[in-house]
Amino acid sequence: MIKAIMKKFALSREGAKGFVWAVVACVVQDLAFMLPVSLLYFLVKDFLEGAVPVNHYYLYGFGALGALLLIFFTAWWKYNATYFTTYKESGVRRIRLAEKLRKLPLSFFGKKDLADLTNTVMGDCATTEQMMSHYVPQFWGSVISTCIIAISMFVFDWRLALAALWVLPVTLLIVALSKKVQVYFTGKQTEAQVAVEDGIQECLETVRDLKSNNAEKKYLQGLNKKIDYLEGRHIKSELGSAMFVVPSSMILKLGIATVALVGGILLMNGTLSLITFFMFLLVVSRVYEPITGTLQNLAAMNSLQVNINRINEMESTEELGGGSEFNPKGYDIEFKSVGFAYNTGETVLDGVSFTAKQGEVTALIGESGGGKSTAAKLATRFWDVNEGIVTVGGVDVKTVDPEVLLKAYSIVFQDVTLFNNTVMENIRIGKKGATDDEVLRVAKEAQCDSFVNKLPDGYNTVIGENGSMLSGGERQRISIARAMLKDSPIVIMDEATASLDAENETEVQTALSALIKDKTVLIIAHRMRTVDGAEKIVVLQGGKVAEQGTPDELKAKGGIYSKMLKLQSAEA
């Protein structure tokens, strides 16, 4: 049962156990609310039978006090079992999803945009949290407690029990039939919600380009259409729910009428006692309350499956596995007949073979879309190869846990990612626990001093989201300093100096020469001056190795590399 609950509601084992206790607490509280009805029944029975003994007054007084205390205790238990347990589980769920995201292959992120992932981690988790704390345990608790009360009613009088309870299966059947409709409406609403969030995020990220091209008005018109569509989906979802919830609530009320009608007939025929009739009238005034309360939110409960399915989709995605041991014999990176495609039928690399040796700089060059950056991603195991093998020091990278593998890499990407923190802390990310002196040393070597000292608080200046206070070249130098601080045996540089001017590029190249000593260096570049110091050139064209060798060998060959060199020299 615990496993079934875990799967159905995307819960941890502890969360599933907590859910069971929450349901039990709801059942006990619902039954506790029936105690005053029982006391009132016996009190009226005493009055109808004649004078009430004095000791019975004490009994009813203490009974009422005991009922109040029991209701208070069960309410406290229910509150803790539903709310506190759910909020704790919600924290566990978010952490679990964050950990899952950390271990997922990049192919997963290629299929999901940021708004969709954010909606899953935040929106779907928030919806699930609300449902599991406010509605779901209460619903199941009301169903179970109603069944227990129903059995008691049949013990007293099966005829009135049928008159009171026939509405329950009819109501639940209507709600059950509505589930597919509500899931459909919620699915469309979620899609519209993600589209709006994606549009708003895209607008904020591209506002500079929209302004520069006078495209704001047109873009906002499209965004307004998405918002209007989302509003329409919300209205349709509410109407779709009301179509089933309102009739169900009305049918429940018919139970009181049928009890009064059947009870009146039986009472007139002399086949029913007045006290039994009175008791059933009391019970039916209370027995529908738990169901009625949860019925109003049953539409949301039915649609909860959409949110849970999105969470389960993320959690069921296969991770990039691998061992925690990584003991390579050196740090040569070797590609052996590697084939790769991001999407089926779209080959990016085809039979690529080359070796980037330790202590040498290997440059990957070629036309845009030739597969250079893809090769770097495969070397770092951001993606796994479809064919062939990539090894580091003779160890297949697919056999090593990505986090363990990446400890051996210092990477500088073309698209730099910085955090809304100080310059010092942005560089310190490269090495946890690095001293200020270590950070300042690599920052100076990466030519950061020249611009950091002009900032208001120097290295303690908060540089804004993704380094918004800095230029592209300044951001790239911080990224280079970060890689230098990590000081790993393998260095991957994807257009690392593309945003630097000629003077700064020369200075950074000098600093990098100290960084890359005795290391395996893989450089991806378009500018030929960037790869001047490379010991080996690999030219990728159309996803295949067109040429490879030393710069002098390729120059003498007069092939692609030689032509690229002459072309860029002429442009300069």
Which residue type is seen at 361? V
- The residues facing 382 across adjacent strands are none
CA dihedral 353, 359, 361, 362 (to 10 degrees): 0
pLDDT one-digit tens code per residue, 261-290: 988 898 888 888 888 888 888 888 777 777
Confidence bin at 244 (pLDDT 50/70/90): confident
Distance CA 328, CA 459 (A): 37
Query: How many of the other CB atoms lie within 10 Å of CB of 124?
Result: 23
CATH topology of domain 333-571: Rossmann fold (3.40.50)
Q: Can you give the pLDDT at residue 181?
A: 78
| Residue 38 CA: distances (Å) to CA of 256, 259, 425 | 18, 18, 67
Q: Can you give the pLDDT at residue 156?
A: 83
Distance CA 500, CA 357 (A): 27
The domain at 2-316 falls in which architecture? Up-down Bundle (1.20)
Distance CA 259, CA 281 (A): 7
Tell me the mean pLDDT in the region 214-238. 87
DSSP characters over 45-91: HHHHHSPPPHHHHHHHHHHHHHHHHHHHHHHHHHHIIIIIHHHHHHH
pLDDT one-digit tens code per residue, 77-102: 888 888 888 888 888 888 888 888 87
Q: Can you give the pLDDT at residue 15?
A: 82
Q: Can you give the pLDDT at residue 212?
A: 82
Confidence bin at 480 (pLDDT 50/70/90): confident
Reduce the DSSP state of residue 322 to 3 states and report it.
coil
Residue 470 has pLDDT above 80, yes or no: yes
Q: Can you give the pLDDT at residue 438?
A: 92
Residue 554 has pLDDT above 90, yes or no: no
Residue 417 has pLDDT above 80, yes or no: yes
Task: Tell me the average pLDDT of the chain.
Answer: 83
| Max mean pLDDT range (177-191, 230-244, 398-412) | 398-412
Residue 572 has pLDDT above 60, yes or no: no
- For the four alpha carbons of 120, 125, 314 and 5, in that order, the dihedral sign comes to negative
- Determine which helix (DSSP H) or strand (DSSP E) holds 392, and give its type and residue range: strand 387-392
Residue 389 has pLDDT above 90, yes or no: yes
The closest of 281, 241, 248, 74 to 157, measured between CA atoms, is 281
Confidence bin at 511 (pLDDT 50/70/90): low
Query: How many of the other CB atoms lie within 10 Å of CB of 436?
Result: 10
Lowest mean pLDDT among 114-118, 182-186, 259-263, 473-477: 114-118
Q: Can you give the pLDDT at residue 198?
A: 82
Residue 496 has pLDDT above 80, yes or no: no
pLDDT one-digit tens code per residue, 275-331: 888 888 888 877 777 777 666 666 667 667 777 888 887 888 777 778 888 889 989
Residue 571 has pLDDT above 60, yes or no: no
DSSP characters over 115-163: HHHHIIIIIIHHHHHHHHHHTHHHHHHHHHHHHHHHHHHHHH-HHHHHH
Tell me the mean pLDDT in the region 466-491. 86
Q: Can you give the pLDDT at residue 285?
A: 75
Residue 497 has pLDDT above 70, yes or no: no
- The residues facing 349 across adjacent strands are 340
Q: Can you give the pLDDT at residue 297?
A: 66
Rounded to the nearest 5 percent, the helix, strand and coil shares of the chain are 65, 10, 20
Phi-psi region of 361 (alpha: psi -120 to 50; beta: other; left: phi over 0): beta
Residue 8 has pLDDT above 80, yes or no: no
Q: Can you give the pLDDT at residue 427?
A: 93
pLDDT-above-70 percentage for the chain:
90
Q: Can you give the pLDDT at residue 16?
A: 83
- The residues facing 520 across adjacent strands are 490
Sheet holding 536-541, edge to edge: 409-412, 490-494, 520-524, 361-366, 536-541, 544-549
Half-sphere exposure at residue 9, Cβ-oriented, CA atoms within 13 angstroms: 29
Confidence bin at 568 (pLDDT 50/70/90): low
Tell me the mean pLDDT in the region 222-244. 85
Q: Do domains 2-316 and 333-571 have the same CATH topology?
A: no
The closest of 86, 82, 80 to 12, measured between CA atoms, is 86
Residue 510 has pLDDT above 80, yes or no: no
Q: What are the domain boundaries of the chain?
A: 2-316, 333-571
pLDDT, greater one: 159 or 4: 159
Q: Can you give the pLDDT at residue 460?
A: 92
pLDDT, greater one: 511 or 489: 489
Q: Can you give the pLDDT at residue 195?
A: 86
Confidence bin at 51 (pLDDT 50/70/90): low
Q: Can you give the pLDDT at residue 296?
A: 65
Residue 365: partners with Cβ closer than 8 Å, 6 or more residues away? 372, 524, 525, 526, 528, 531, 537, 538, 539, 540, 561, 564
Q: Can you give the pLDDT at residue 80?
A: 87
Residue 158 has pLDDT above 80, yes or no: yes
Sequence-separated contacts (24+) of 62-68 with Cβ below 8 Å: 63/35, 63/39, 64/36, 64/39, 66/35, 67/32, 67/35, 67/36, 67/39
Distance CA 514, CA 523 (A): 15
